A and B are shown apart, each in its own frame.
Chain A
């Protein structure tokens, strides 16, 4: 039913994180992208910046509103998906792959993350 990857961890606020060793990649789910509507800009953190768990790691601008990305992991930013500032297409077409937002060297992980089953159970209760 869904193409959401099973190996990721998900947050209640629709972020995903892929943790590989001490590196983590952060993005937002297809549900978050769909909810924001027409996207126009992505404000990414600076490489080298330090982000805490639940701090705003990035902001995604849509025509309707701005979506704050609550970082599911904390650490030092090692890379950002710079192309998204000019072209937000990958966020809609491939939110779990080409649409990643930033990577960081993990120093802390939120203790409220869910696996895919739990996340999809939450989505069922949220969707109208």
Chain B
């Protein structure tokens, strides 16, 4: 199994580890519930070194991004980030990504599971474009600071005025004296930052952030809480909400696609399916306690007809409910109540608005 430069820090903090697609990652430290509320109420620190980072350079780098990235890129300003997909020819996602448009380069953050395939796929779309795709995943550290106290904790270590960095904006500035790309992005639904820097400094920056956040009761956060935080915030996990068989229209993620981009791989095919109307749709489900409908759990209608399947499910400490995203038949989207089938019994779940959680602003 592969490990990040911060593994010893996690072990010292008594983390419980899990095999996350070949990476030995912390799933929890203090406990999933405590960590979730720490991020919602204070601030938490995440080791994301396992995720993939690509840097595109060369004169045609932006044309290449526009060819492979489903979102509207041409109008994206320098210093801004955007969410979208790498689609295959059939309009199904190969990965979901964040694209950061810098003046001299474009940075793309991909999933850990995309590291083996995304760089080759992007290169294969180059054709006659003059651009270079560099996989910096093994050279860079990636750490996220998430929660309402994030700006305060990071500002103490950072040479830039963070109040000038807007949501989905980024800049380059020293953190602990080391050049860092810092972006006001994240995967929790809270305010926060994601930091990209030379991995030689990973332990130093990690320790400094924990130290800076001590008065705000900062904690390291494992993948268990991260999964709940992103599910509460309505954010998809590649492989579950979207995968090579579930497209962004079905998953209710059309905001990540510019359907007018005929020159982007997969967009025409996806547009055709959108116009025909998807046969399956994603819904948010909630129940008060009881059994927890987890990924793979069948969803049926009141009369017991098969409707679909849970793509992600868990316990939401923020809402005090059990929550799930499910992909169901389009005709059931207004059913009001659907049923999770667990151990031969049907457990009612209410269809609720998405996302489950929005932070107060």
A residues with CB within 8 A of B: 37-38, 40-41, 43, 56, 59, 61, 63-64, 66, 85
Contacts and interface: CB of A to CB of B under 8 A. Distances in A.
28 contacts: A37-B28, A37-B31, A37-B32, A38-B31, A38-B33, A38-B315, A40-B289, A40-B292, A40-B315, A40-B322, A41-B292, A43-B291, A43-B342, A43-B343, A56-B343, A59-B291, A59-B343, A61-B292, A61-B315, A63-B32, A63-B33, A63-B224, A63-B314, A63-B315, A63-B317, A64-B28, A64-B32, A66-B294
B27 interface: yes
Given A38-B31, A38-B315, A85-B290, 17 more contacts: A37-B28, A37-B32, A38-B32, A40-B315, A40-B322, A43-B291, A43-B342, A59-B291, A61-B291, A61-B292, A63-B33, A63-B228, A63-B315, A63-B317, A64-B27, A66-B292, A66-B294
A82 to B, nearest CB: 14
Contacts of A64: 27-28, 32, 224
The 5 closest A-B pairs by CB, nearest first: A63-B32, A63-B315, A38-B33, A61-B292, A40-B315
A40 B27 CA distance: 18
B357 to A, nearest CB: 16
B146 to A, nearest CB: 19
A18 B314 CA distance: 33
A87 B190 CA distance: 31
Interface in B295-352: 314-315, 317, 322, 342-343
A41 B290 contact: yes
A28 B73 CA distance: 55
Interface of B: 27-28, 31-33, 224, 228, 289-292, 294, 314-315, 317, 322, 342-343
B240 to A, nearest CB: 16
A50 to B, nearest CB: 15
A41 B321 CA distance: 12
Between A37, A64, A85, the greatest number of chain B beta carbons within 10 A of the residue's beta carbon is seen for A64
Contacts of A85: 290
A125 to B, nearest CB: 18
Contacts of B291: 41, 43, 59, 61
A51 B317 CA distance: 34
A19 to B, nearest CB: 26
Nearest to A45: B343
Nearest to A43: B291
Nearest to B27: A64
A56 B292 CA distance: 17
A87 to B, nearest CB: 11
A31 to B, nearest CB: 13
